[in-house]
Amino acid sequence: MATIQIPLGDDKVIVHRFMDEVGAPYNLTGASVYWRLKADRQDTDANAVLTKTWLAGVESGLSLTNPETAAVLTAADGILYNRITPVQGTALTADKQYLYDVKITDTLGFVRTLESGTLTVMSASEQAEASF
């Protein structure tokens, strides 16, 4: 389970590296990937506070292109980039721990959770405490 912290007002690029059962890169060709951020464990996918997708190559928040370097990968590399912008971060409650998961629907229709974790937007006071 991954833990992500984002200082309030900062950009954050989350790199999702997906591996199959034998440790090889998960080939995303033809698959759909859903990243959802939820305020509470009981929240449904429809109630997620932030949703990003990569639907069989159509990008909506998840990308094969690294936003920091402009390097472009292929779906076979099993890596997607997820940029949390300052606007998206400030829309979240500072110092609250959110839950996220990444689910994939493969070309055969199988749904798998490939990653899950927590995300916290750190307030200015929390950032100051963390720097000591």
> d(Cα 41, Cα 43) in Å, to the nearest integer?
6
pTM value is 0.87
Q: Is the pLDDT of residue 131 over 80?
A: no
Sheet with 97-105, strands from edge to edge, namely 2-7, 111-122, 97-105, 32-38, 50-55, 58-60
Per-residue pLDDT of 94-128, as tens digits, reads 999 999 999 999 999 999 999 999 999 998 666 55
* Residue 68, C-beta contacts closer than 8 angstroms, at least 6 positions apart: 13
Residues pairing with 22 in the sheet: none
Per-residue pLDDT of 46-61, as tens digits, reads 999 999 999 988 899 9
Cβ atoms within 10 A of the Cβ of 119, count?
22
In contact, 72 and 63? CB cutoff 8 Å: no
